[in-house]
Structure 1
Amino acid sequence: MKHRGRHRRRRRGAALRAFLTGTALALTAAATLISASQADVTDSPGALKPLSSPADTAPLRLQERLVPARTLDRLSAAMGRPVGVDAVVANADRAMRASADCSAADRASLPVTPSVARAYCWDTADSAGSDWRPASVTTSGDADDDGVWGSHRVVLAGWTHSTTAGRAAERGLARVAFVDADDPGRLAYRWVLLVVPVDGGRDYRGLSSAVSGMVWYQGKLLVTTRTGSADALYVYDVDRIQRTNVDGPAIGRVPGGWSADGYRYVMPAVGSYRFTGGRCARSGPPCPGALAVDRGTVPDSLVAAEWTEPDGARNARLWRYAFSTAPGRGGLLGTDTAGRVQPEEAYRTRAAGIRGVLSYREPGADDTSWYMGRLPGSRDGHGGLWRQDVAGSSAARCGADGSHRCWAQSTGSLSYWQETGEVWSLSDHMLFVLPLAELDRSVG
């Protein structure tokens, strides 16, 4: 298995970085609220074990399945001309609040260590209940190396609805908040519902799956699926967002037009990737969980962590796929002539309950570091933050007794914005950002 180790020079936005540093917040008050006596994320995952035999890598092989162009064209012909990201953020209808205006309970969900630079809570219309939960984040810094898509800096946050609570029509659905992040002091967002074309593009249904991982690369949005589908990843095109024209509870074609349970915008899937070995299983393909982009490899790559229970006996696998460099395949994974995707590298870790993953290699370093946000076995309270490589592992520590339960509650996904040198993530209640250097220092 070829390891792609050559790295690109990182671009820096000096003026933007200086502004962000000047407005950084000291958000460490949650340190007094953590229960350091619980030590169920303290077990070291040790060193990464490379997986290179065919028996180990074959379960990670994917098969690409693209939606026929005629299906997508039929849907857009019926719904109207698709719109892009700029149109969605220009119609942002919900404002995010800066940390100082958020509740104490919201702020308590933030990491204790490392220190957060900026944090935001959601509009009260979205944060008041517990039926919808944020789980994944990606940015225009993933999509393009200059950090701008169209005319905006944008953050995407994936939310999943509970399968047991709330209105039956909403259960299990997935939606994405398109956040206008041009002004770090004033973030606003608009919802887009994820859907899947059916009946040859004559209709669509909601995507019924937990979206635990999400990556925006070039014009495509890749999201993980774990329930209700044999597909490992669904693919969306951010230039194929469709407007609805009927405000009702149904999802799909209705008398008078198109509805999406009250959402103004839907994004239809344009493809998917399925494990060639079948559905995720204990002895076969993994259940995909956290995702991230690594712009330090050539070509850029998609990194993934296996979804495992935090208190289970199953340890996780970490792996990566190369993005395609072929003309007309921007944002898709690299395939062979049969549409199969092979992993570029893979590892076994002794960690479980990974909900955030990031891979990064410092210029001049010999090995790539893998950062992991892990849930506590109890699932309650703060999780752990670890850095791991083939030589060993280390964790962020906090409190008088050096507890490892220092990371955010629910340990959301990690997204590195190369141009600013910052990492974006999510807690139970908040969206937050911190410098990669601070994250790295905390696990040193």
Structure 2
Amino acid sequence: MKHRGRHRRRRRGAAVRAFLAGTALALTATATLISASQATVAENPGALKPLTSPADTDQLRLQEHLVPARTLNRLASSMGRPVGVDAVLQSADRTLSVSADCTSEDHASLPVAPAATRAYCWDPADTATSAWRPASVTTSGDADDDGVWGTHRAILTGWTHSTTTGATAERGLARVAFVDADDPDRPVYRWVLLVVPVDGGRDYRGLASGVSGMVWYQDKLLVTTTTGSADALYVYDLDRIQRATVDAPAIGRVPGGWSADGYEYVMPAVGSYRYLGGRCTASGPPCPASLSLDRGTAPDSLVAGEWTAPGSDRHARLWRYAFSTDPARAGLLATDAAGRVDAVEAYRTRATGIRGVLSYRQAGAKGPSWYVGQLSGSGDGHGGLWRQDAKRAKAAHCGSDASHHCWAASAGSLSYWQETGEVWSVSDRMLFAVPLAVLDGSLG
């Protein structure tokens, strides 16, 4: 198990170069251009507008709620000693296929421009129906700046079950694919179900929430919650993964032990952040659609983007919270004495249908660039990816009509792996990466 900061400065330059050089893919031939008949992505969103008035920033204020240690300890005492990321990865039972072994339908979901340089499709059992859909991604490059957690390079992707299709008992639940990316030619993964302790740790329930954003920072995993909830984020501890003891459809305590709808592992929440202003609404606190980590700030910060319907006339908000620098609060947000969290930077954008957001300060730039991934106007098909700052917005062009429909189909969140220089994301069918330098070079 890796402890916080154990080898944050250890460099693995040769391994990283081999990791990148040996796995680049030529995917441009497989990308499918979008016809002009498809729904359009919103027009150029233009420059970002800073939000500085208390009327705007107060709506972003959170209250931290940590699960009592006695609750977590009671659950662990009953279920058995918690395990960490290594145990999950070592028991991986599914394989991601490299791009060459994926279907044309898989390839059609990838970005048109810039083309992905690394891409994988999931085990067919996980994409046979649309009941479960991937929407978020984070990596061990977020967790630690050397890109390694314990002995592994790992990628986590968040999936949410439909609330209207598939098995009734699973509707709305959330799970995470723990991907062992040590061998880039054969990544393998294992599912972990997200749960929430109840009754003082005597039981747990499934997390019924859309996980459209997710960040793994130090030993914590922060995930977004369902639109309309007063809870903005749930917090999980990567060192507190529990094994289920009974293979049954139920979730929680059952006769003879603990069940997790057939999954071997569950991860119980250790805390949450709730808006002080109540449930997210059009005129109140924002509904977070995407999360990412920014290591270019001091301290490191959690970046968030607001959900607004594709093509709507509402202007979405982009903002960030600082992470705590207190060693006793590893992976948690910085709070005041009352447990309140204030945004340290906020903007408004005319972009809509936001599913991915990333903040990165280019060398020599006065401020950060914000990369905003959008769904198409209809919510499916290829979307757009814009780079915005205080002066302008730019996006890639593709197709004879100079369309901005160039990003992935039903794309999810964005995650920048600092050590490798890659931006990772998910389409509705594939996990893929694009070097940030290539992404920047594609922008018009």
- Per the normalisation by structure 2, the TM-score is 0.96
Deviations 1:81-133 (A, max 9, x none): 00000000000000011111111001100001012111000001111111000
Alignment match, 2:54: 54
2:296: which partner in 1?
A: 296
Provide the secondary structure at the position in 2 that maps to 1:405.
Answer: coil
The 5 Å alignment of 1:118-137 reads 118-137=118-137
- Local SS of the residue matching 2:56: helix
AA aligned to 2:166 is G
Cα displacement string for residues 58-92 of structure 1 (whole angstroms, at most 9, x for unaligned residues): 00000000000000000000000000000000000
1:364 has 2:364 as partner: yes
From the superposition, tell whether residues 41 and 10 of structure 1 become closer, same or farther in structure 2 (CA, over 3 Å). farther
CA displacement, residues 163-185 of structure 1 (integer Å, 9 cap, x when unaligned): 01111110000000000000111
Instruction: Sort the Cα spacing of 1:383 and 1:12 in 2 relative to 1 into closer, same or farther, 3 A.
Output: farther
| SS of equivalent to 2:318 | strand
Number of the residue aligned with 2:175: 175
Check conservation: 2:173, 2:206, Cα contact below 8 A: yes
Distance 1:361 1:228, change over 3 A: closer
Report the CA distance between 1:270 and its aligned residue. 0.1
Residue 230 of structure 1, CA deviation: 2.1
Instruction: Describe the shift of the 1:46–1:227 C-alpha distance in structure 2 as closer, same or farther (beyond 3 A).
Output: closer
CA distance in 2, matches of 1:339, 1:281: 23
**2:216 corresponds to which residue?**
216
1:345 counterpart residue number: 345
What one-letter code is carried by the residue in structure 2 that aligns with 1:290?
S
Residue 421 in 1 paired to residue 393 in 2? Answer: no
User: Equivalents in 1 of 2:121, 2:369: separation in Å?
Assistant: 30
Does structure 1 retain, via aligned residues, the 8 Å contact 2:33–2:399? Answer: no
Q: Give the direction of change, closer, same or farther, for the CA distance of 1:58–1:10 in structure 2 (3 Å limit).
A: farther
Measure how far apart 1:311 and its partner are: 2.5
Q: Distance in 1 between matches of 2:397 and 2:39?
A: 11
Measured in 2, the distance between the counterparts of 1:355 and 1:206 equals: 24
On the 8 A contact 1:10/1:418 being kept in 2, the answer is no
Q: Is the 8 A contact 1:30 1:111 kept in 2?
A: no
Q: Shift of the alpha carbon at 1:326?
A: 1.0
Equivalent in the alignment of 2:158: 158
Match of 1:226 in 2: 226
Q: Could you state the TM-score of these two structures normalised by the residue count of structure 1?
A: 0.96
In the alignment, structure 2 segments of 5+ residues that lack a partner are 1-8
Q: Secondary structure at the match of 2:92?
A: coil
Residues 224 and 232 in structure 2, CA contact (< 8 A), matched pair in contact too: yes
Q: Is the 8 A contact 1:397 1:406 kept in 2?
A: yes
AA aligned to 2:209 is S
Cα offsets for 1:385-422 (capped at 9, x unmatched):
10000011001111122110010001211000001111
- In structure 2, relative to structure 1, the CA distance for the partners of 1:251 and 1:227 (3 Å cut) is farther
- Structure 1 residues 72-83: aligned runs within 5 Å: 72-83=72-83
Paired position in structure 2 for 1:319: 319
CA–CA distance in 1 between the matches of 2:160 and 2:22?
34
| Offset of residue 229 of structure 1 | 4.0
Structure 1: which amino acid aligns with 2:149?
W
Determine the structure 2 residue equivalent to 1:139.
139
Aligned position for 1:386: 386
Q: Deviations over 1:10-40 (max 9, x none)?
A: 9783542354134311112344442244462
Partner amino acid, structure 2, of 1:207: L
1:48 partner letter: L
- The residue aligned with 1:440 is 440
Percent of pairs with identical residues: 76
Q: How does 1:322-333 map to 2 (within 5 A)?
A: 322-333=322-333
1:226, CA displacement in angstroms? 1.7
Tell whether the 8 Å contact from 1:372 to 1:387 is kept in structure 2 after alignment.
Answer: yes
Corresponding residue SS for 1:160? strand
Partner of 1:6: none
State the match for 2:287 in structure 1: 287
- What's 1:69 paired with? 69
Name 2:270's counterpart in structure 1. 270
Per the alignment, residue 4 of structure 1 pairs with none
Provide the rounded CA distance (Å) in 1 between the counterparts of 2:77 and 2:191: 23
How far has the Cα of 1:312 moved from its partner?
2.0
The answer on whether the counterparts of 2:215 and 2:221 sit within 8 Å (CA) in structure 1 is yes
- Does 2:72 align with 1:85? no
- 2:6 aligned partner: none
Counterpart contact for 1:31–1:399, Cα < 8 Å: no
Report if the CA contact (8 A) 1:220-1:331 is conserved.
yes
In the superposition, relative to structure 1, how do residues 224 and 388 fare at CA in structure 2: closer, same or farther (>3 Å)?
same
Deviates more, 1:330-339 or 1:307-316: 307-316
Q: Deviations over 1:281-329 (max 9, x none)?
A: 1111000110000001000000000011113221210000000001210
Gapped regions of structure 1 (runs ≥ 5): 1-8
More displaced 10-residue stretch of structure 1: 89-98 or 361-370: 361-370
Measured in 1, the distance between the counterparts of 2:335 and 2:309 equals 31
Structure 1 counterpart of 2:131, one-letter code: D
- Summarize deviations over 1:159-207 as a string: whole Å, max 9, x none: 0000011111100000000000001111000000000000000000000
Q: 1:12·1:421 contact (CA, 8 Å) conserved in 2?
A: no
2:59 alignment partner, SS class: helix
Q: For the residues of structure 2 that align with 1:121 and 1:74, how far apart are their CA atoms?
A: 39
Contact 1:41/1:383, CA 8 A, preserved across alignment: yes
Is 2:94–2:123's contact at 8 Å kept on the other side of the alignment?
yes
Contact conserved, 1:385 with 1:443, CA < 8 A, in 2? no
SS of 1:328's partner is: helix
Query: What amino acid does structure 2 have at the position aligned with 1:180?
Result: D
**Paired letter, 1:186:** R
In the alignment, is the contact (CA less than 8 A) between 1:29 and 1:108 conserved in 2?
no
CA distance in 1, matches of 2:305, 2:42: 19
